[in-house]
Amino acid sequence: MGAAGENRKTWHYLDPMRMTQTSKPAFSVKLAETQTELWAAQRLRYTVFVEELGGGGALVDHDSRLEQDRFDPFFDHLLLIDEVKQDVVGVYRLMRRDQAEAAGQFYSADEYDLSVLLRSDRNLLELGRSCLHREYRGGMAMFHLWSGLARYIKEHRIDVLFGVASFHGTEIAALTEALSLLHHRHLAPADLRVQAQAASFQPMDLLAMEQLDIRRAMLSVPALIKAYLRLGGFVGDGAFIDHDFNTTDVCLILDTARMNDRQARIYQGPAG
């Protein structure tokens, strides 16, 4: 779950809406260190990706309610913990280039040709399995998780973040406007433009720009994707239909050098 002997840190945050009388931080963010912490992350992922979204997978453990795969041992697992309830309420999977080499590939290489990124000498970080418990969505929880992620990025001197993000469902007809909008307005520049694998390439330029109802299209884009677009993120060329997870995936790419100061402040969230 990370480099052996790596110094682990826990970051605490105060949320004025959820303070206790003892002023105990409402949230902490840390990397999973134990099997028990990994199970907690996988159990939250099961709640969100399997029970809520209808996903599956060969290694999903329905008896123990764990969403897991062969890549988990190679990722770092960033945990958002509700310090009052002592529950893991948010997770991120993080994989650096050296971890991908140990695993044999990045997770998203099954869906996207990552050659344009791999040929560069830039420090890469793959993000995945991002989720929050339903009770913590729409508040400050995601910003706390992002703040922990920002610290990880700084410590490892990451240049480029990428990973698949999902639309629920696999019916392309329902996603035509949203996918077209992403293609026309947010397609990655050539030096970042990963491409969906040829065998499963789903074009995203399904409608011309003048045919789009932009407001309606953007309303149908999931919140996490919109958040990365606001940060200056891009999408790769083509989508991938993931029948195991009942999703249509796009690849998001974020170049930290292209983020302006305002975007960086949004990304880092509250001061820790």
Mean pLDDT of 208-224: 93
pLDDT given for residue 139 in this prediction = 79
pLDDT given for residue 5 in this prediction = 34
Residue 210 has pLDDT above 80, yes or no: yes
Spatial neighbors of 134 by CB under 8 A, at least 6 apart, are: 48, 52
pLDDT digits (tens, 9 = 90+) for 37-89: 999 999 999 999 899 888 777 888 999 999 999 999 999 999 999 999 999 99
Residue 142 has pLDDT above 90, yes or no: no
Please report, in angstroms and rounded to a whole number, the separation of the first and last CA atoms in the chain. Answer: 24
DSSP state of 227: H
What percent of the chain lies above the pLDDT cut of 90?
Answer: 68
Closest CA to 65 of 52, 75, 76: 52
What percent of the chain lies above the pLDDT cut of 70?
Answer: 86
Top-confidence residue, 113 or 6:
113
Residue 261 has pLDDT above 80, yes or no: no
Mean pLDDT of 228-232: 89
Residue 258 has pLDDT above 80, yes or no: yes
Specify the DSSP element, H or E, that contains 267. helix 261-268
Helix (H, G, I), strand (E, B) or coil at 66: strand
pLDDT given for residue 90 in this prediction = 96
In DSSP notation, 114-172 reads -HHHHTS-S-EEEEEEEEE-GGGTTSSHHHHHHHHHHHHHHHTT--EEEEEEEEESS-H
Q: Tell me the sheet residues that pair with 167.
A: 248
pLDDT given for residue 118 in this prediction = 97
Separation of alpha carbons 31 and 155, rounded Å:
13
Separation of alpha carbons 207 and 96, rounded Å:
36
The overall average pLDDT reported for the chain is: 87
Contact 10, 37 (CB under 8 A): no
pLDDT given for residue 97 in this prediction = 96
Helix pair 261-268, 141-155: axis angle to 10 deg: 110
Confidence of residue 268 (pLDDT cuts 50, 70, 90): low
Residue 215 has pLDDT above 60, yes or no: yes
Separation of alpha carbons 244 and 50, rounded Å:
10
pLDDT given for residue 160 in this prediction = 96
